[in-house]
Structure 1
C-alpha cells in the first residue's frame, strides 16, 4: 500500500471537485476551492475522522468496499478508480453483475417522499424502483418494471418527455455505461444492452467514442408533459455506493409554477 501517494491522490481529487458538480449549493464563498473533507466523507458514507486519516497518511488499509465508495464520491473515471485500488494495494474487481434489486430501506425512503418524484437506477440505468409521483411524471410504463433510461434516450422506447438538455443527458448516460462496462465485465445483461444500443443508435456510437466521464450530481431540465405541460425541474442524485445505484430526486424551485403543478400531480396520485 502506497500510503503517501494514496493520501496525495485523495487530496488532489477532493480539491479538484467543485460543489456544484455534486449538487451542493455554491452561494456561500469558500476560502479554498474544492470539496471539504466532511462532504467527501458524507458522500462516501464514512466518518470524517476515518477519511481525514486516509488523507493524512495515518489510516488503515481501506477495504475494496471503502475504495469503491470513495471512487464514486470523488467521481473518479474507470482509470482513476483502478489507480486508486492500486495505490491501496488492492486489485480493482471488475465485478460480476450489476445489482438490480433495490434495498428495502431505499424503497421505503421513496414512499416517504410523496411530494418529490424519486426513482432508483442501477449501474446500467435500469429503473429498479420509483414512487407514484415519478411514475406520473415519467410515464405509466415505469410501473412495468422494465424501463431503462438508456433505451429511452437512444432507442426511443417508452415515454421520453424531456425537451431540454437531451444531449447533456445522453453524455451522462454514456459516461455511466462506460463505467459500468469497466466494472461489470462479466454481466451478460449489460453486454446485451450495449450491443443493442450500438446497433440501434448512431448517436450512441458517436457519443461512446468521445469517452465522456462527467456525471453531475445536479441537473436542471424542462419536461414537456402530455397533460401537465412544460415543467422546469431539478434532478439531484444521491448515491447508494454499496449497490452502485443512484437515487434521483425530481423537484421544482419553491413557489414556481412548476412547483404548483407538481403539488397538484402529487395530490392526484397520493
Structure 2
C-alpha cells in the first residue's frame, strides 16, 4: 500500500468533482468548487474521520469494498479504478463477465431521478448504487460488498427479515419472478464463480428456491407493480427494470399516475429511511463504517 500516493490521488480526484456531478446541492457556504471530505464520506457510507485519515496518509489499509465504494463516489474511470486498487495494495479485480463498476453516465442518470426510487444492481441482485429516494424506501444498503450476503436474492430466500417491507400476499409472486429472472441470468453465464455460488448456495439453503428452480421458468424481469410497507403506510409503485451494460440493471420504482404514491414518497424522504427489515432506521453512515473497520 502506498499511503502517500493514495492520499494525494484521493485529494486530487475529490477536488475536480463538482457537487452537481454526484447529485449534491452546491449550498451557500461552500468555499471550493469540488467535493468536501464529508461529501465523499456520505457517498461511500464511511465515517468522515476514516476518510480524513485516508487523505492524510494515516489510515489502515482500506478493504476492497471501501476501494470500490470510493471509485464509484469519485466517478473514476476503469483505468483510474485499477490505479486506486494498486495504490491501496490490492489486486485489480478481473472484469471478465459481470462488472461491479458503474459507469459515470449511468450514475448521472440515477442522480437525476428525484421523484422516483431507483438503484443499480448486478444480475445477481447486488446493489451497486442507490439514489436518495431508494434509501428512504429500502434503507441504506451497504454498497460495495461481495459474496452471498450482498445479494438481495440470497437474503430474500434465506433471511425472513428481508421480506418485512413486502405484503405477505405478494411474497409468492416476488419469489417466482426472482427465480425466473435468475434462471435467465444463469443461462448467460452458468460457469462464472459468483453465479455458481449463488445458485448452488440457494439450492442447499432454501427449499422454496429449490422447488421454484426445478420448474425451469425463465422470465427476465422488466416491469411489475409492487407494494412497499413503510412508516407512512403502504406505497404502490411501478417497477421498471432497464438493462444496462455488463449485466447491470437500472431499477426504477415510480409512482403510478393519478395515485398518492408520489406524495407518500416525498413524505417518506422527510420522515427518514426504512431499515432493510422494513422498520424505521436511524443508523448513521458513521456507525456502518465503524463496523466495517
Task: Tell me, yes or no, whether TM beats 0.5.
Answer: yes
Q: Is the 8 A contact 1:135 1:143 kept in 2?
A: no
1:237 equivalent to 2:237? Answer no
Distance 2:106 2:259 in 1: 29
Counterpart secondary structure, 1:223: strand
Provide closer, same or farther for how the CA distance between residues 121 and 194 of structure 1 changes in structure 2, counting only shifts above 3 A: same
Q: TM-score, normalised by structure 2?
A: 0.54
Distance 2:246 2:98 in 1: 8
2:206 aligned to which of 201, 210, 218: 201
1:148 equivalent to 2:151? Answer yes
Provide closer, same or farther for how the CA distance between residues 177 and 222 of structure 1 changes in structure 2, counting only shifts above 3 A: same
Distance 1:269 1:167 in 2: 29
Superposition RMSD in Å: 2.4
Greater mean alpha carbon deviation, residues 150-159 or residues 114-123? 150-159
Residue 109 of structure 1: aligned partner = 109
Structure 2 residue runs without a partner (length 5+)? 1-94, 274-293
Q: Is the 8 A contact 2:119 2:130 kept in 1?
A: yes
1:252 equivalent to 2:238? Answer no
1:185 aligned to which of 187, 190, 202: 190
Distance 1:156 1:224 in 2: 17
1:77-122 Cα distance to aligned partner (Å, 9 max, x none): xxxxxxxxxxxxxxxxxx9532222222111111111211001121
Q: Is the 8 A contact 1:96 1:186 kept in 2?
A: no
1:14-65 Cα distance to aligned partner (Å, 9 max, x none): xxxxxxxxxxxxxxxxxxxxxxxxxxxxxxxxxxxxxxxxxxxxxxxxxxxx
Distance 2:130 2:265 in 1: 16
Aligned residues: 173
Structure 1 residue runs without a partner (length 5+)? 1-94
Distance 1:267 1:111 in 2: 18
Q: Is the 8 A contact 1:117 1:134 kept in 2?
A: yes
Q: Where in structure 2 are the equivalents of 1:83-232 lying within 5 Å?
A: 97-140=97-140, 142-146=141-145, 147-156=150-159, 159-160=162-163, 161-163=165-167, 164-225=169-230, 227-232=231-236
Counterpart secondary structure, 1:238: strand
Counterpart secondary structure, 2:142: helix
Q: Where in structure 2 are the equivalents of 1:22-101 lying within 5 Å?
A: 97-101=97-101
1:122-152 Cα distance to aligned partner (Å, 9 max, x none): 1112111211111111122x13444422123
Segments of 4+ in structure 1 off by > 4 A?
267-270
Q: TM-score, normalised by structure 1?
A: 0.58
Counterpart secondary structure, 2:97: coil
Q: Is the 8 A contact 1:125 1:173 kept in 2?
A: no
